[in-house]
Every structure is written in structure tokens, then in C-alpha cells.
Amino acid sequence: MFRAYSMQCLVVIAHPLPDSLCRSLAGFAAKRLEAAGHQVTIEDLYGDGFDAALTETERRGYYAAQFDASAIAGEAARLTEAEALVLVFPTWWYGFPAILKGWFDRVWSPGIAFDHSSNFGPIKPRLKLRHVLAVTSLGSPWWIDTLVLWQPVRRILRIAILGACARGARFNMLSLHSAENPSTERVARFEGRVAAVLDRWPIAHT
């Protein structure tokens, strides 16, 4: 016997231009998830004026008895409630945009994304994420990102960030390379790849 199951999905967009390809892809992903019956929340880091800089108080509180999350309470609540996460961002200099890196620095913090272990040992994951999809655009060709640099953004997300804070999450990453001026056909094919991943996310369980 199956019953409808709607995941809480968080779509995070990190691009400053309102007419960017990344924003279009984020909208496509959100509509696809909503059409499947999932609950979707959009975190627009630039549009919401998110401050990427980790504050002195936040950094000093990393090892306090309780981390002071008052300044990022809304972002923290949306992250901890999410069962699925879609990250949409450009890859700049083979890394995250500063605003997205700041979101990781400030929001993926103690008591929210992880707990410290005793004696500064491995941290303990807290997030309940089941599925994570990263969608990124790059100006460089695929072979530089893959063969020369070994996909640094993918490795950081999969091993360092999700590996520490959401070990049970199933991770996919889709990269549109040579994306400075992609044809309509290339974008449509890429959207098809995004849809194929999202359509595999469960919408029912026993």
C-alpha cells in the first residue's frame, strides 16, 4: 500500500544576474519538483541580500556550549527542514561564488549541520538530507575541469561538505561546460539531464 509522499525541497540559487542561465535552471528545477508534488522553498542568496561574511561572534561561537545562530535563523531553519537540496550556481575560478561559500560557512554550522565530537575528533552529521543535486555552469571546457583539475567543486561537495554533514544523502552533480554562450538546443538537453535526476527522487513510499 503506497501513500503520496512530498519531500521538503530547498532550491538555493547563487547568481547576481536576474537573467542568468543559472536563474533559469533554478526556476526549471523548482517547477519540476512542484509538478511532481514536492514542497519547494527557494533560497535566493543574492535576491535576499544574504551576507556571506562569517562574523566574529559566529566564529568565536563555533566551540561554545551553544552556537549563536540568531543572525541566520531563517536560513538555518530552511536547511534543517529540507529533505532534498538543489544547488544552482556558476563555477568561478573552479570554485564556489563567494556568496555560496559564505552560506556554507555561516549556515552549515555547529548545532545546525553538524555537532562537534569530543577532543576535536570527526564531526557528527545532523542534516536529514536524502537527495542533493548540484547544478553548475562553467566557462571552461569539460576536459580542464575533469582531466586537469579533477572536478574540485564536485569533490568538495561530495566528500568534505556532504560527507561531514549529510552522509546518507544521494548526491548528483551536473555541469554545463563551455557555457558562455550555449545554444538553445544545448540548454534544452541540459535541462533534460536535470529533469532526469529530479524525476528519480521518490514521490511515494510505503
Q: What percent of the chain has pLDDT over 70?
A: 96
State the pLDDT at residue 88: 98
Cα–Cα distance, 72 to 70 (Å, whole number): 6
pLDDT at 181 over 70: yes
State the pLDDT at residue 3: 46
Contact 196, 155 (CB under 8 A): no
Give the pLDDT band of residue 4 (cuts 50, 70, 90).
low
Give the pLDDT band of residue 144 (cuts 50, 70, 90).
confident
State the pLDDT at residue 1: 38
Give the pLDDT band of residue 148 (cuts 50, 70, 90).
confident
Q: What are phi and psi of 22, to 5 degrees?
A: -60, -40
User: What is the CB neighbour count within 10 angstroms for residue 107?
Assistant: 21
Contact 71, 58 (CB under 8 A): yes
pLDDT at 38 over 50: yes
| CATH, range 3-205 | 3.40.50.360
H/E stretch holding 137 reads: strand 131-137
Average pLDDT, the chain: 92
State the pLDDT at residue 118: 78
pLDDT at 204 over 80: no
pLDDT at 186 over 90: yes
Asked which of 121-125, 169-173, 187-191 is least confident by mean pLDDT, the reply is 121-125
